[in-house]
A and B are shown apart, each in its own frame.
Chain A
Amino acid sequence: MPQLVTACPRNCYSTCSLLVTVEGGRLVAVEGLASNRATPEGPCLKGLAYVERTHSPQRLTRPLARRADGSFAPVAWDEALGRIADELQAARAEQGPQSVLYYSGSGTKGLLNACGLAFWRLFGGCTTTYGDLCWPAGLEATRLTLGDNVHNAPWDLENARLIVLWGKNPAETNVHQMPHVLRAQERGATVVVIDPRRTETAERADLLVQLRPGSDGALALGLGHVLVRDGLVDREFVAAHVKGFDGWAERVAEFAPQRVAELCGVPAAAVERLAGLIGREHPCTIVPGFGLQRFTNSGQALRAMLALLAVTGQLGKPGAGWMYANLQTQVFSPVRDPLDFYPPETPDPQVRVAISTARLGRDMLATSGPPLRVAWVERGNPIPQNPETGKVLEAFRRLRFRVVVDELLTDTAREADVVLPAKSFLEQSDVIGAYWHPYVQLRQKALDPPPEVRPETEIYRALGRRLGIDEGALAAALPGPGDEAVQAWLAERLQPLGLSLDRLREGPALVPGHQEVAFADRRFPTPSGRIELWSDEARARWGQDELPSWREPEERPDPAGPHPLHLLTPNTKNRIHSQFGNLDVIRRMAPAPFVALHPADARARGLGEGDAARVFNARGDLRLPVRLDWGLRPGCACITNGWWLSEGGAVNLLSQGRETDLGFGAAFHDNAVQVERA
């Protein structure tokens, strides 16, 4: 049976190397590849579920067009592209090309994704978004402090004596990190988890700090206070490599443990104990998650967390550091994230980068000169996944025409006028990096797409012809047709790095110039060349304090007000955002959404296990059964992220379109709700 090396392209830390077996045109097995040191044991359940997903009867295999009665009918490509071309031409002629919104999500990663924007430039231009839903506040905090988002190799975690999993739950969201954590523990490491929930990861920890959501910055400043007070600062390292220590020390002086205990809702003794660990148990690695940086105050919070490593000298050493994002493999674009997704300094005459991803619905509605008329969505499901689903839905419905390219009839596709069936990642070759491990991988074509499914590059080529775009220009912008041409296109991009397709067909390749220990040379690409606790750019670009600072999130629950509970919307092992939940094999594990409450909060509302509840705020409401969770911090309600509107669990009906303090991220977690009996 033919076996091929490929890689999982989902927006996930692990980005597993895969060995896939194809038999009779069907994917029959998925295994791991031991040569990837970060994911040697093989993919998670979702990677294995590609066997079902690739051939799922739910997959779209023909274009769909909306009929006059509102329902969808399968149509031929000619008709689908004809309708799209007519609408695009009318939009361009009447309101200009920027009346077209090009929205691409993070559903599938690969270099070919860049072809989308290349096509829209040939069209004459478009409007796009800036910022990112996922991780910008943390990226920007890291960039401001360390100069770049790189970290030690995933397996280096085994060298740590102290691992602080701060708002990260790798047992569910990065399961391949757990063996490294456990190996460190076997070698005597202490593991601390900081999370309002008693997560699966926390079961293995030595200490679980269940702080109030959104108070991470205060905790970090309080830990700094104890480090200074108890003389646990590495003076030599600070003198050589840190800018702004004195200002920071003055700042943390305001955050005595007792005050921090009140702000965070944890005992002062826990603050003292954790600070003692961070000050003494070296090497120490802090592993922040993404959830804690989705608040309006979280960029500054992460700067405060970074300072703990800077002042204790825990950077640039084995087993030490800041394991947030490792963009060493982001070598195919001129700048790395987060700069890559900021609006350009000087406006692009063709591409209007004008819509904040975090405020997608509101900004779409407010856009004028020209207003938006057509939307093209690919690799994304923005209606349930972007904040403020109600507004996003309203904005999409306000448009004249919508095209969605997807494998499934998602909530967003259901709103489209034309839905084009998307390839699966196994049906066209591509090259991907990662953001946790340092491997460049070939996503090798293993299957032909179903007969009526075309890769995006082919869709654009056919559409371009209909729009009268010059054939030579199309050929220059888009690789193909055929996978051989795609591979040649990829080879061209690998060649300057000294990598070849043949090499990548054997397995993942370490990115050239890989640093196993990031910043081992103590060179920090900040303006000052030092670790910047004081950042002028924080003020100049973001209007924030030059030093790490603390303020409450913009929206927070008021125990006496109408919305006294904090809504948490974490990810689970069963999905990547809104993907995979449709599969039978996943549905057996997670059949329906629910709201978790601490029994004390449930009792206060007359709710018990399984009772129907209404979770609501001014933006929307959800009706869900209650599940009691003693491990959840009281005052919180928790609904896992990724359920579709059609599944009745779209959490962003409740969130507000708001940006984070740094990085144009989405502050999903500034979110107060009430829960009552339904």
Chain B
Amino acid sequence: MPAAFVFAVDKCTGCEACRVACGNANAGGRDTGWRQVLTFNPARHPALPSQHLSLACQHCDTPACLRACPTRAYRRDAATGAVLLDPSRCMGCRYCSWVCPFDAPRFDEQAGVMSKCTFCSERLAAGGQPACTQACPTGALSLGERAPDTLEAMTTPGLAPTGLGPALVVLPARRVKPVETTLAGQAGTAPVPQPLPARKMGFGREWPLTLLTTVLPALVAWFGTGLLRPERGPSALELLLPGLGALLLSALHLGRPARAWRAFLNLGTSWLSREALLATAFLGFAGLSLAWPSPPRLLAPFTLAVGFGLCVAIDGVYWTVARLEPRRAHGAEAVPTAAFLLGVMAGQPWLTIPLAAFKAARFVARWERGRHVLPPRGGSVRLLCLVGSVAPGLQWPTQVLLALIGEGLDRVAFYENLEPSTPARRMAEDARRLSAA
């Protein structure tokens, strides 16, 4: 069997020698940030034990990063099983860090590209072991063999089944209860929430993407409107200007904008590559179709189909994000949004009413689960916009304006709702859940 990290929870004292060893071997003594040592229950809540997890890249059998990377920057080293990142191919989109459930790829702010544990593959190939496993002074972290599925039944805080076949074998703690102490008067202690780690996603950080993924479905809808009611449709310029502008903004948001062309290189497994290709294709065909005085009869319907394909790809990008909870349909996903806006713009109640109902239902459901992120006033605006955009008494341009505002707000909420599941986040959630129980 290929090599794996073996981690014995009871043996780890959280000493962080593994981190220092990693930096010595890979960064001349500076911290690589590749290996993290997480602490469960650092505040010593009396209901819970305290323990650690030392995690880096788990070099999965089915690496989510490798599949999701649009630039083909990742490869698997056949000899060692290591999943390796070539920084010279990376454009710094950070998508791999959203899809990795172990939070292994780290963004190097200075270089503008991702950086990641290499499994010390050169040492492995030479018959040695990674610097971290070699250095562990308690034997908690060692090198062993892969044992698929051991994580699937794992209850160790911070871990969760991933289905990716990580090269990680965890030997769980002997005892799940905290140490018996003579300290009295601690019973019935209120849960102490373990602080959540800083967020990776969110509107503040991803506003160019929020803009892009609102503008593109709106343009698809506008283009489709032109097919049903030509007088309401866009001109080539009206469509291309916002479309290309949003694409450009997103490209500038990359760590290495000059490598944006690499986004098309992994159509086989990366939704991001597909999104990039379909966005370019849609804008190209739409521009052609609108600028051409007498386009071929099938060009416009074909373009609309490409546009909806683009919306599927936009949504696909986010289906792959590592999640804390089971994935639920979000009202701000690109496909329903494009269809809804098409209905509003083209005045098609058979489209708008069911989709508005769907969006309202998803919005209310999030509120009920406490997953609403818009402040009450913003939430009311979103609902008012939804109602206004289908209200019969209003003029269609007013309805469209309200719909665009409402969908924009909902897309902001979409990014705020979506936070990749990381070991640190899962650990904090586990601590909250278990200390409350």
Contacts and interface: CB of A to CB of B under 8 A. Distances in A.
A452 interface: no
A52 B29 contact: yes
Interface string A197-209: 0101111111111
Contact of B137 (A43, A202, A207, A584): A43
B249 to A, nearest CB: 34
A39 B137 contact: yes
Contacts of A30: 24
A159 interface: no
B15 A175 contact: yes
B330 interface: no
Interface stretch (A60-68, A628-636, A669-677): A628-636
B111 interface: no
Given A42-B135, A175-B138, A585 B23 contact: yes
A393 interface: no
Interface stretch (B80-88, B175-183, B293-301, B381-389): B175-183
Interface in B173-204: 174, 178-186, 189, 192
B335 interface: no
B163 interface: no
A630 B182 contact: no
Contacts of B434: none
A630 B13 contact: no
Contacts of A253: none
A287 to B, nearest CB: 16
B43 A628 contact: yes
Interface residues of B, number: 42
Contacts of A41: 136-139
B182 A585 contact: no
B17 A48 contact: yes
Nearest to A193: B179
Interface stretch (B44-52, B229-237, B305-313, B413-421): B44-52
Contacts of B186: 630
Given A42-B137, A207-B180, A210-B183, A171 B192 contact: no
A589 interface: yes
B51 A203 contact: yes
Most buried by A among B20, B44, B50: B20
Contacts of A585: 19-20, 23, 29-31
B14 interface: yes
Interface string B1-34: 0000000001101111101110111001111000
Contact of B20 (A45, A55, A209, A628): A45
B155 interface: no
B25 to A, nearest CB: 7
B13 A210 contact: no
A209 B49 CA distance: 16
A198 B178 CA distance: 10
A29 B20 CA distance: 11
Contacts of B10: 182, 204
A193 B51 CA distance: 17
B16 A52 contact: no
B195 to A, nearest CB: 8
Contacts of B380: none
Contacts of B139: 41, 179
Nearest to B50: A203
Contacts of A29: 24-25
Contact of A270 (B25, B31, B182): B182
B398 interface: no
Contacts of A176: 137-138
Contacts of A193: 179
B134 interface: yes
B320 to A, nearest CB: 31
A534 to B, nearest CB: 31
Contacts of B174: 185
B13 A198 contact: no
Nearest to A587: B31
Contacts of A204: 10, 179
Q: Which 5 A-B pairs have the closest CB atoms?
A: A631-B44, A51-B29, A171-B13, A52-B29, A48-B20
8 contacts: A171-B13, A175-B138, A182-B11, A204-B10, A208-B180, A585-B20, A585-B31, A630-B186
Given A208-B183, A267-B182, 7 more contacts: A28-B24, A48-B24, A175-B15, A179-B139, A185-B174, A198-B183, A631-B46
Interface of B: 10-11, 13-17, 19-21, 23-25, 28-31, 43-46, 49-51, 134-139, 174, 178-186, 189, 192
Interface of A: 28-32, 39, 41-45, 48-49, 51-52, 55, 171-172, 175-176, 178-179, 182, 185, 193, 198, 200-211, 266-267, 270, 573, 584-585, 588-589, 599, 627-634
